[in-house]
A and B are shown apart, each in its own frame.
Chain A
Amino acid sequence: ETGVTQSPTHLIKTRGQQVTLRCSSQSGHNTVSWYQQALGQGPQFIFQYYREEENGRGNFPPRFSGLQFPNYSSELNVNALELDDSALYLCASSLNSPRLNEKLFFGSGTQLSVL
C-alpha cells in the first residue's frame, strides 16, 4: 500500500475529447510526477510538480497539462485526445524536493482507452 490513489481506474474516451485524471498523494509529499505507460513499455515521464509549481517536463505536447493542489492532490489534463494516448497513466509522489532523487510512491494508475 503506497498511499497514492488514482481515479478513475478505467476510462474510455473518443478521439478529440478531453480528459482529467486525478491523484491523491500521501499527506506531506511535496512532489508529484505523472508517467505514461504504453502496453509493454516502461513508464515515460510527462511532468513533475513541486509545491504546486511545474518542475520539469518530458517530451509531451502542450495538450498534456497538470495541476498540483495544496491538499496533496493533483490532476492530469489531456485535450484533443488521440488514439496514441491510450495507455496506463501513473501518478507518483515523493516526500521532498526532486533534487534528492528519492524513491517514488506510485498509484495503481488510470487505464485510458481512446477510441
Chain B
Amino acid sequence: AQKVTQAQTEISVVEKEDVTLDCVYETRDTTYYLFWYKQPPSGELVFLIRRNSFDEQNEISGRYSWNFQKSTSSFNFTITASQVVDSAVYFCALTDSGTYKYIFGTGTRLKVLA
C-alpha cells in the first residue's frame, strides 16, 4: 500500500535558521510522482514542487531545496534562512498509479519566530 510519513508534527525555528522537513514514502510502483505543498492559514494548498521517480537530481529554487533519495525512500525539503512568511503547514504527497489520487502525509507545521 502507498503511504507517506511526515514524522515531524511541528517545528519551531527562529528567523534566519535553516530547517529541514522530512518525508518518507512507501510505494510498490516503479513510476511515481512526489510533491510538496504549502498550506498557509488561508487554507488553500500551494504547489511547491513535483518530482518523478526517475529524476533523482536535487533541486534548488531560491531559499528552497529538495533532496530526493530513492535508496531511503525520502524526499526532504529544506528552507534556508527561514522567514516568518514561511510559517505554514507543509505536506508531502505521492500519487497513486492506479487511481492517480494524491496520498498526503499528515503535514508538518512550521513556525518561524521573529
Contacts and interface: CB of A to CB of B under 8 A. Distances in A.
B61 to A, nearest CB: 14
Interface residues of B, number: 24
11 contacts: A41-B106, A45-B101, A48-B101, A88-B43, A90-B43, A90-B44, A92-B45, A101-B33, A101-B52, A106-B37, A107-B44
A99 B97 CA distance: 8
A48 B93 CA distance: 16
A40 B4 CA distance: 15
Contacts of B106: 40-42
Contacts of A88: 43
Interface size class of A (residues with CB under 8 A): 20 to 34
Contacts of A64: none
B29 to A, nearest CB: 11
Interface of A: 2, 4, 33, 35, 40-45, 48, 55-58, 88, 90, 92, 98-99, 101-109, 111
Interface in B12-55: 33, 35, 37, 42-47, 50, 52
B99 interface: yes
Contact of A2 (B44, B100, B104, B105): B44
Contacts of A101: 33, 50, 52, 95, 100
Nearest to B50: A103
A42 B47 contact: no
